A and B are shown apart, each in its own frame.
Chain A
Amino acid sequence: MKNFQYTEASQPAQAVQQIGAGRDTKFVAGGTNLVDLMKYGIEQPDTLIDISRLELAKIEKTATGIRIGALARNSDMAEHPLVTSQFPLLAEALLAGASPQLRNMATLGGNLMQRTRCNYFYDISQPCNKRQGPTAQAGCGALEGYNRIHAILGLESGDLNQSCIATNPSDMNVALAALDAVVNVSGPAGQRAIPIRDFHRLAGKKPQQDTTLAPNELITSIDLTTPQRAGKSHYLKVRDRASYAFALVSVAARLVVESGRIQDVRLALGGVAHKPWRLTSVEQQLIGKPATEASFREAARQLVAGAKGFEHNAFKIELAQSAIVRALQTVAA
């Protein structure tokens, strides 16, 4: 770990100001991801601004739904009545992630920003476009290496060795994608709201950039809109062990069925792309269809259409479809 300066921010505005002032300055919230990355030499900030004491941890009602502060702990979010009653999908996804100890530290903002678990990204002796940036022309270590946890969807159409095949590892983000969360951020130029689907990015030609958040912007909260009809939801996470493992593939599903017909559906996939994978066109197609395995299987096929498998992750193409069908069957039952 490189030596660094440490300061605390007491007000959001102060935090934004401080981050604008330094060169290699980063926010630290729960520290569960950033500190690891610093230990491995992947992140090397000169200054850390501790935002964990900012008064941004509230979970409260809004006119259209709820607002969750960026510093809310993952464990508090998962237990909060407003979340469990209106957005059980989010609670379930949160509880599927990490371990109780980690969830007690991890924050909403940190979880949105957590970086990939790609083995080559984590090993600074190995080539990685995401870590080194495209100008370094390093290449992608995973492409012809150990790529079991890597993406099958949303891949760059050009030379993959100049891009990145990593996945976003978060469980929470998959639920937020299905729920159309809006991320509120604050920067030197003021506030802006970023729809979740625009928050995380595909790797494309800028593999170093996971999100559309500017380096000098602070996430302050997210907004969730209460659905007209809640229906049933389920977060299905497939993993190597029963707990404390990242998803091989995950599915966030919410479904409203009436008289055997689908009225409303939300479907997002985790573990398959550089961002949570959601295609609203596929959801549109499902509306009005019978809530049967055949409909679910067709939707699954469409959602992973064009998927590409690499040496170790080709199994995900089939697995993702099985998981989608299973998740929809669970909520249709």
Chain B
Amino acid sequence: MEPKLIGDPVDRIDGKQKVTGGAHYAGDIKQPEMAYAVLVMSTIANGTIRDIDTADAEKLPGVLAIMTHKNTPRLPGYDANKPGATALGRVLHLLHDDRVDYSNQPIAMAIADSFEHAVDAANHVRVTYQAKTPAPGLPTSKAEPFRPQKLPRPDDPVDTQRGDLNKAMAAAEVSFKQTYHTPTQVHNALEPHTSVAIWEGKQLTIYQATQGIFPSRERIAEYFALPPENVRVIAQFVGGGFGSKGPVWADGVLAAMAAQYVKRPVKLELRRSDMFGMVGSRSATSQQLDIGASRSGDFLGMAHRSLNQTSVFDDFSEPAGILTRVLYKCPNQEVTHRSIRANIGSPSPMRAPGEAPGMFALESAIDELAYQLNMDPIALRLKNYAETDQQKELPFSSKSLRECYQQAADRFGWSKRLAAPRSMRDGNILIGMGMASAIYPTIRDEASAKIKLNADGTVLLSIGTQDIGTGSYTAMTQLAADAFGISPDRVTLRAGDTRQPKTPVSGGSRTTASAGSAVVQAAEAVILKAKQLALNDLKSPLNGQKESDMAVEKGRLFLKSDPKKGEALTALLKRNGGNALEASTSSKSGEEKEKYSMYAHGAQFAEVRIDEALGEIRVSKLTGAYAAGRIVNAKTAHSQLVGGIVWGVSMALLEHAIHDPRTNRIMNANLAEYHVPVNADIPDIDAFFIDEKDEIVNPAGVKGIGEIGITGSVAAIANAIYHATGKRIRELPITPDKILSFTA
């Protein structure tokens, strides 16, 4: 059989398991004697628990225990409950004290022999509070903003300056200044957060819905003061994460605490309503954009001042300004981040954290400026095309944004757009076309992998990484198969378990770049061993050749200068005792990171149809071109783009966690009222990759694609809405009421 090639639209290796129910998620795990835990959540956002009465609950059938701050044993490693060095280390409420810092915070846990009994018990816990007025979040907050100590990614400075902004702004012929608002959003992966915890002495095994089995293992081990080796985290399948399953949240630790307390395996599966608060959110932002330009459209100065919200007990600062530092050429610039504190659950990374709200603001502002200058929005962007990363003063490892603009514009039919707002109509319907750039950094973390080439030519790939639903298992398998030139079905994968080689969190679109590079390097190491075997083997046609003169294709080792000279790897191995060749590698970025700036780019176009009298906005067309290095699997990669773009529709038009500022309670904490798009909201999406070869970025040659789709689509839609109606709505989501009550 012809091996499937890298880039082919290969079906997911686990597709059949998933559609037949054979894929076991954490919630599917059953253990003998397993008990069920259900959380009791706070109904106030600030104060203390005056009394918590568990007497009625404890008497109910099947109840094993009710844990509250009154009886919960102190965790030996509780001192580690501080903001961590990365976005993964969050401060958790673990029933250790009577504080209530936000509404829908876990304040007790009912453990029973069935889920139903646990729910019933949880409902019978009576709580009274000493309540204080909660500090509201954005936009209501009047709190004094403070400068956060850091942004989630250590590489991103909180504030940056370059050139002389004041001077540039004073000299600019055209100036622009506006403020944009984005709301709190809640991730809501289809699969709720779930953990099944099993103790055997001092060994803890946890089946967990997580984006990072290794970071989870370390954080949980820390709380229990155990060496990480004592904790095993397994995530065979994960039903979406979107950032929400990156950190370990309270539920992940509480499950293990419950299992220890009742001395039985315990499953803790969050209910949908539990997910609005304790497992992160995208921070609301308020972002001010100032741009000074020449009459001909050169950006002379630019400031992006972003305000976000964090909780009263933790530090997380939505990095909304970071892409403004690199997207356009602009010699004088200032980008700052400030936060206010509110009685809310801690915000956390959500698909394209910072990038999504930040790009909405930046790309809306560029669009506004294009109208102000009477320039085509693409022309204005091309005029200010950044050939280098001006902030880091580095060249890009590769950048094909120009090609993206061009190809997406052609396929979208941008030339049919009449420039003036309100100039395109179909009966009662106003039609608008808008576009925006898309960009996402390429992140790579240390990752390791082990590859074993068997004498029969099959390959065993061991790599810890979880697959959060994106298709990582398939991509890893393909990369290993590709290295040997064999069909992916000849590769067996062992993954999703901390017993396998260590890999990073699946977040920041880094899995293929990180774990994928480890796979490529482990395969290279095995191939090197094969070459050495051949050159030392008197019976091999490659005896005495140099390693660097040999290559592998279709499972065959051969001489590059004379491809006929060579032999199948299976023949080589069989002749040499039939032993497998095995190699483990640990892979991380090297000096390329200091020498180059690395980003995936894209151009996103949108057409909207708006019934202005009724305020209804429907997206009728979405076209996007993306350049992201090598595409390992055309099918799963396309799904990532489409998923990201749909998220953009959601953010632009629908999503909004509504806090009542009097109570800080989320008033739409369910999926009937927390709106995301349904099928009828999504037109056919034409999202495609353009060829981009990048040999610098990492050994796998890939850039992250999981998040870029949302970075352009939000502003493209908002810009299309302006083009249709002449109404510039700077506050997301753009709902019918905002169209109807718009005043310039």
Binds A, one of B348-356, B496-504, B526-534, B672-680: B672-680
Which residue among A119, A239, A241 has the maximum number of chain B CB atoms within 10 Å of its CB?
A: A241
Residues of A in contact, count (CB < 8 Å): 35
- Residue A294 at the B interface, CB < 8 A? no
User: A319 near B614 (CB under 8 angstroms)?
Assistant: yes
A123 to B737, CA, bound (A): 24
A41 to B665, CA, bound (A): 17
A144 to B680, CA, bound (A): 34
Which A residues are in CB contact (< 8 Å) with B660? Answer: 141, 145-146
- Residue B394 at the A interface, CB < 8 A? no
Which A residues are in CB contact (< 8 Å) with B400? Answer: none
User: B680 near A240 (CB under 8 angstroms)?
Assistant: no
User: A244 near B735 (CB under 8 angstroms)?
Assistant: no
User: B43 near A119 (CB under 8 angstroms)?
Assistant: no
Say yes or no: A319-B120 contact (C-beta < 8 A), given A240-B654, A240-B675: no
A144 smallest CB distance to B (angstroms)? 8
User: A1 near B120 (CB under 8 angstroms)?
Assistant: yes
Which A residues are in CB contact (< 8 Å) with B618? Answer: 242
Query: For chain A residues 1-17, which have a beta carbon within 8 Å of chain B?
Result: 1-3
B664 smallest CB distance to A (angstroms)? 12
User: A318 near B740 (CB under 8 angstroms)?
Assistant: yes
Which B residues are in CB contact (< 8 Å) with A3? Answer: 120
Which A residues are in CB contact (< 8 Å) with B120? Answer: 1-3
Using CB atoms, name the residue of chain B closest to A3: B120
- Residue B658 at the A interface, CB < 8 A? yes
- Residue A323 at the B interface, CB < 8 A? yes
Which A residues are in CB contact (< 8 Å) with B654? Answer: 240-241
B656 smallest CB distance to A (angstroms)? 10
- Residue B140 at the A interface, CB < 8 A? no
User: B675 near A146 (CB under 8 angstroms)?
Assistant: no
- Residue B615 at the A interface, CB < 8 A? yes
User: A315 near B741 (CB under 8 angstroms)?
Assistant: yes
- Residue A261 at the B interface, CB < 8 A? no
A99 to B681, CA, bound (A): 14
User: A326 near B428 (CB under 8 angstroms)?
Assistant: yes
- Residue A243 at the B interface, CB < 8 A? yes
Which A residues are in CB contact (< 8 Å) with B43? Answer: 125
User: B678 near A238 (CB under 8 angstroms)?
Assistant: no
Say yes or no: A322-B614 contact (C-beta < 8 A), given A148-B737, A243-B680, A315-B737: yes
User: B123 near A41 (CB under 8 angstroms)?
Assistant: yes
Say yes or no: A241-B663 contact (C-beta < 8 A), given A319-B736, A323-B614: no
Using CB atoms, name the residue of chain B closest to A99: B678
User: A322 near B613 (CB under 8 angstroms)?
Assistant: yes
Which B residues are in CB contact (< 8 Å) with A244? Answer: 678, 680
User: B736 near A241 (CB under 8 angstroms)?
Assistant: no
A-contact 0/1 string along B671-699, CB 8 Å cutoff: 01101011111000000000000000000
Interface SS, B side: loop
Which residue among B119, B670, B672, B737 has the maximum number of chain A CB atoms within 10 Å of its CB?
A: B737
- Residue A126 at the B interface, CB < 8 A? yes
- Residue B662 at the A interface, CB < 8 A? yes
A120 to B668, CA, bound (A): 9
User: B665 near A123 (CB under 8 angstroms)?
Assistant: yes
A242 to B680, CA, bound (A): 6
Which B residues are in CB contact (< 8 Å) with A239? Answer: 616
- Residue B571 at the A interface, CB < 8 A? no
Which A residues are in CB contact (< 8 Å) with B737? Answer: 148, 248, 312, 315, 319
Which A residues are in CB contact (< 8 Å) with B658? Answer: 119, 146
Using CB atoms, name the residue of chain A closest to B612: A322
Query: For chain B residues 636-682, which have a beta carbon within 8 Å of chain A?
Result: 653-654, 658, 660, 662-663, 665, 667-670, 672-673, 675, 677-681
Say yes or no: A123-B680 contact (C-beta < 8 A), given A145-B660, A323-B614: no
User: B673 near A117 (CB under 8 angstroms)?
Assistant: yes
A239 to B673, CA, bound (A): 12
Say yes or no: A241-B677 contact (C-beta < 8 A), given A41-B123, A315-B741: yes
Say yes or no: A238-B123 contact (C-beta < 8 A), given A146-B660, A243-B680, A245-B675: no
B125 smallest CB distance to A (angstroms)? 13
User: B673 near A238 (CB under 8 angstroms)?
Assistant: no
Query: For chain A residues 145-180, which have a beta carbon within 8 Å of chain B?
Result: 145-146, 148
User: B665 near A126 (CB under 8 angstroms)?
Assistant: yes
Say yes or no: A319-B615 contact (C-beta < 8 A), given A41-B123, A240-B735, A242-B680: yes
Using CB atoms, name the residue of chain A closest to B741: A315
A110 smallest CB distance to B (angstroms)? 16
Which B residues are in CB contact (< 8 Å) with A319? Answer: 614-615, 736-737, 740
B-contact 0/1 string along A227-254, CB 8 Å cutoff: 0000000000011111111001000000
User: A243 near B678 (CB under 8 angstroms)?
Assistant: yes
- Residue A185 at the B interface, CB < 8 A? no
A304 to B16, CA, bound (A): 56
A315 to B737, CA, bound (A): 6
A112 smallest CB distance to B (angstroms)? 20
User: A125 near B613 (CB under 8 angstroms)?
Assistant: no
A72 smallest CB distance to B (angstroms)? 24
A240 to B428, CA, bound (A): 18
A304 to B229, CA, bound (A): 69
Using CB atoms, name the residue of chain B closest to A236: B614
User: A2 near B428 (CB under 8 angstroms)?
Assistant: no
A1 to B119, CA, bound (A): 7
User: B741 near A314 (CB under 8 angstroms)?
Assistant: yes
B717 smallest CB distance to A (angstroms)? 14
A242 to B649, CA, bound (A): 12
User: B667 near A119 (CB under 8 angstroms)?
Assistant: yes
A197 to B679, CA, bound (A): 36
A162 to B681, CA, bound (A): 39
A110 to B437, CA, bound (A): 49
B136 smallest CB distance to A (angstroms)? 13
User: A326 near B668 (CB under 8 angstroms)?
Assistant: no
B675 smallest CB distance to A (angstroms)? 6
A301 smallest CB distance to B (angstroms)? 15
Say yes or no: A241-B675 contact (C-beta < 8 A), given A123-B665, A146-B660, A326-B613: yes
User: B681 near A242 (CB under 8 angstroms)?
Assistant: yes
B662's partner among A145, A243, A312 (CB-CB below 8 A) is: A145
Which B residues are in CB contact (< 8 Å) with A322? Answer: 613-614
User: A119 near B673 (CB under 8 angstroms)?
Assistant: yes
Which B residues are in CB contact (< 8 Å) with A2? Answer: 120, 123
Query: For chain A residues 97-148, which have a beta carbon within 8 Å of chain B?
Result: 99, 117, 119-120, 122-123, 125-126, 141, 144-146, 148
Using CB atoms, name the residue of chain A closest to B119: A1
User: B678 near A242 (CB under 8 angstroms)?
Assistant: yes
B659 smallest CB distance to A (angstroms)? 9
Which B residues are in CB contact (< 8 Å) with A314? Answer: 741
B665's partner among A125, A238, A312 (CB-CB below 8 A) is: A125
Query: For chain A residues 306-324, which have a beta carbon within 8 Å of chain B?
Result: 312, 314-315, 318-319, 322-323
A170 smallest CB distance to B (angstroms)? 14
Say yes or no: A248-B736 contact (C-beta < 8 A), given A119-B667, A323-B614: yes
A245 to B671, CA, bound (A): 11
A315 to B612, CA, bound (A): 13
Interface residues of A (CB under 8 A from B): 1-3, 41, 99, 117, 119-120, 122-123, 125-126, 141, 144-146, 148, 238-245, 248, 312, 314-315, 318-319, 322-323, 325-326
Beyond A119-B667, A245-B675, A312-B737, 19 additional pairs, beta carbon < 8 A: A1-B119, A1-B120, A41-B123, A117-B673, A119-B658, A119-B668, A125-B43, A146-B658, A240-B654, A241-B677, A242-B618, A243-B679, A315-B615, A315-B736, A315-B740, A319-B740, A322-B614, A325-B613, A326-B614
Closest 8 CB pairs of A and B: A125-B43, A242-B680, A243-B680, A119-B667, A315-B737, A322-B613, A315-B740, A242-B681
Can you report 14 A-B residue pairs in the complex whose CB atoms are below 8 A from each other?
A2-B123, A3-B120, A119-B658, A122-B670, A144-B662, A239-B616, A241-B675, A244-B678, A248-B736, A315-B740, A318-B740, A318-B741, A319-B736, A326-B613
Interface residues of B (CB under 8 A from A): 43, 119-120, 123, 428, 613-616, 618, 653-654, 658, 660, 662-663, 665, 667-670, 672-673, 675, 677-681, 735-737, 740-741
